[in-house]
Amino acid sequence: MIQLPEVIKGAVEALTRLPGVGEKTAFRMVMNMTNWKSSELTSVGSALASLQHLKLCQECGMFADDNLCSICANETRQHTQTLCVVENASDLMAIEKSGTFKGVYHILGGVLNPLLGVGPDELKMDVLRDKIIKNQIQEIILAVNPSVEGDATCSYMKSILPETVQVERIGFGVPIGGSLEYLDPMTITKALENRKRF
């Protein structure tokens, strides 16, 4: 078997750390990169390394160029009435894509998970509660994914908030374009529970 140079092994090993990239894919990528110019390799290397300088919005925890993200810095958004609580940045972006929510967000950074040692302190739930009270937010939309941990997180959030704050959770049911015949029983149950007068 041929002995490959250390730089190739190192690059393959580095790429396999990316999600969805196995050793074969990483190797194919590196073989392609061996044909690149030095400047291209340098720019890709530094673009990835510079992710460590990524800032987070001081208000909501979203990625930001500055102290505030583009949503929190946007004065046309409603900053006080409704707050949408999400697990992570990807969930936030999915909601933004729908274009229907005009308020601001709060990124939890995860859900309560005692087995992984994630408690209310890790998610800074007290900071969130204080922010909600201080900003006199009237409505909380919990856009947390449906799972045992997500449900527990929602219950805990409701329990620590004053009763004057209206807490809501996003609706669960049949996704648009979905087909009843292929959906799981839990979703069907939720869809039946969440039926609306037509």
Instruction: State in angstroms the smallest separation of the CB of 131 from a copy of itself.
Output: 20
Number of residues that bind a copy of itself (CB under 8 A): 58
> Binding residue for a copy of itself (CB under 8 A) from 29, 118, 183, 191?
29
Q: CB of residue 47 vs a copy of itself: minimum separation in angstroms?
A: 4
Tokens of 144: 């947390």
Q: Does 100 bind a copy of itself (CB under 8 A)?
A: no
Stretch that binds a copy of itself, among 16-24, 133-141, 150-158, 189-197 (CB under 8 A): 16-24
Report strand pairing: 166-169 vs 139-143.
parallel
Tell me which of 60, 69, 132, 154 binds a copy of itself, using CB under 8 A: 69
- The CA-atom distances, in angstroms, between 193 and each of 65, 171, 174, 184 are 43, 10, 11, 15
**Shortest gap between Cβ of 110 and a copy of itself (angstroms)?**
10
**What distance in Å separates the CA atoms of residue 87 and residue 144, rounded to the nearest whole number?**
6
CA distance 143 to 11: 38
Stretch that binds a copy of itself, among 63-71, 78-86, 135-143, 187-195 (CB under 8 A): 63-71
Q: Is 25 in the site for a copy of itself (CB under 8 A)?
A: yes
DSSP state letters, 107-175: E-SS--BGGGTB-TTTTTHHHHHHHHHHTT--EEEEE--SSHHHHHHHHHHHHHS-TTSEEEE---SPP
Q: What is the H or E stretch that residue 72 is in?
A: none
Among 68, 70, 77, 103, binds a copy of itself (CB under 8 A): 70
* Residues forming a β-bridge with 168: 141
Residue 176 in the binding site for a copy of itself (CB under 8 A): no
Closest CB to a copy of itself among 3 and 164? 3
Sheet holding 166-169, edge to edge: 104-107, 82-86, 139-143, 166-169
Question: Is 81 one of the binding residues for a copy of itself (CB under 8 A)?
Answer: no
Q: Report the C-alpha gap between 29 and 38 in whole angstroms.
A: 16
Residues in contact with a copy of itself by CB under 8 A are 1-8, 10-11, 13-15, 17-21, 25, 28-34, 36, 38, 40-55, 62-65, 69-71, 89-90, 92-93, 96-97, 99
